[in-house]
Amino acid sequence: MWYMGSQDPKQRLLDKVIDHLATHGLGDLSLRQLAAAIGTSHRMLNYHFGSRSGLLVEVVREVERRQQQRFNDFLRELESHARSTTQTPLFPEIAWRWWQHISDPHLWPHERLFFEIYGQALTGHPELAGFLTRVVESWLDPLIRFARAYGIPEPEARTEARLALAVTRGLLLDLLATGDRAGVDAAMKRQIAHYVTNHTNSAGVDVTKTT
Amino acid sequence: MWYMGSQDPKQRLLDKVIDHLATHGLGDLSLRQLAAAIGTSHRMLNYHFGSRSGLLVEVVREVERRQQQRFNDFLRELESHARSTTQTPLFPEIAWRWWQHISDPHLWPHERLFFEIYGQALTGHPELAGFLTRVVESWLDPLIRFARAYGIPEPEARTEARLALAVTRGLLLDLLATGDRAGVDAAMKRQIAHYVTNHTNSAGVDVTKTT
DNA sequence: CTCCTCATGTACCAAGTGGTACATGTACCA
DNA sequence: TGGTACATGTACCACTTGGTACATGAGGAG
């Protein structure tokens, strides 16, 4: 194909769609308005995605894919940092860095889109059912491995992972609504401190200094 | 008026609307479908609420009002229970009871609606801007009073309140998506245990037995 | 050159949308 | 009794929606 070298036109379209939805919300999911906003005709959206719900499904999959991508990027960044300093970072440091990573304002549009999809999926939207089955489980496994790697024993690891996920999402919801960076950061530090004093093998670090 | 004794027709309508939205989602907010589902004509919705967005605003306000109501009911229930046993319950007991209260399956439809509104509000829906400014703050004040009443000193009280709110909402999101009652309950117990061991003046109670 | 596949634009459709004008009914008030 | 305010139903409006039929084009394959 003549466009090989850039991208599948479908993927190019999907990228533009997600960029637009992240900044303008899912409410604009009228094929016509959407197409006009990203410089195509609604005919093209129907052609490449089959239907409105087909597009919605692919948008959701792409959002999930990007989240996973972000997590992998973070892990690689951690790894390279560990190589340069030769000492493996402590648990509270990593937790705090991860929080800084995903709470960065330039990710807010995507996080808003994530929670909007979450909300719509909760009310029975049938094409989003798969999203709900994955939205917790797909994060639990990597988090459990993480917890185990830092010495939290197995039966607790799953519970702590689930809790960490909930805290993160709850505080993100807060941050997106209030924009109160200082207040939300303080809460996250407090939570990390809770972990530390309850798992003595990684205690002894003042997380309030990790800023 | 002839209907005094039952209710304002507008309020009757609003109640039916919220019942329907809670079980069928905000996606159905087409005036016609909505009206048909609750046994009126879309004419009436426009008559009583002025417009589609007028209705949306009043729905949101009513959802907030009911949440507050639920919290007050819980406080009164606590109070009456305290009178009968003559001893004031410990912090972990109350926290656990509150969690049981709001995570009860019969409230799930309303919680789904809440998160769906939250998601829509995050993406700039202008008529929902007020919702975002209240969605955290309106819960912080009562929670702070609660924390202080249980001996948590002032500077930490606000942070702990914020954290507790985030944990609750994060775990509710998990519960609504997965339905994994046991897993989510375990996470909440774990969090309560974290609080207890970090605030020694209310420690010494095995929260795992409060089921 | 010829055919075929993929991508795109134009024009249309039936259905549904929010909103409103108008008429009807029903209870209260003077 | 007549009048007034509120509530409700019917019918309509202009507009937008998701989806599709049809035509056009551009590149690769023989």
Closest CA to A172 of B162, B84, B149: B162
Residues 16-35 of chain A whose Cβ lies under 8 A from any Cβ of chain B: 24-27
Alpha carbons B129 and B123: distance in angstroms, whole number: 10
| CB burial string A138-152: b at 16+ within 10 A, e below | ebbeebbebbbebeb
Q: What is the pLDDT of residues A13-45, one digit of tens each?
A: 999 999 999 999 998 899 999 999 999 999 999
For the cut 50, the answer to whether the pLDDT of residue A209 exceeds it is no
The top-level CATH class assigned to A1-50 is: mainly alpha
Residues 42-71 of B with CB under 7 A from strand C: 42-43, 46, 51-53
Name the residue of chain A whose CA is nearest to B21's CA.
A123
CA atoms of B93 and A200, how far apart (whole Å): 25
Mean pLDDT for A89-107 is 92
Which residues neighbour B129 within 8 Å (Cβ) at sequence distance 6 or greater? Answer: B121
Q: Where are the domains of chain A?
A: 1-50, 63-209
Alpha helices in chain B (DSSP H): 9-24, 31-38, 42-49, 52-85, 91-102, 108-122, 129-135, 137-149, 154-178, 181-198
Is any atom of strand D within 7 angstroms of residue A24's beta carbon?
Answer: no
Chain C footprint positions (protein CB, under 7 Å): 6-11, 16-21, 26-28
Instruction: Tell me the whole-structure pTM to 2 decimals.
Output: 0.92
- Which nucleotide is at minimal CA–C1' distance from B10? D7
The CA distance from A205 to A95, in Å, is 13
Mean pLDDT of successive 10-residue stretches along chain B, which has 211 residues = 60 96 92 95 96 96 96 89 76 92 97 98 91 97 88 89 98 98 98 84 43 40
Of the candidates B163, B148, B152, the one whose C-alpha atom is nearest the C-alpha of residue B200 is B152
Task: Give yes or no for residue A6 having a pLDDT over 60.
Answer: no
pLDDT of residue A88: 67
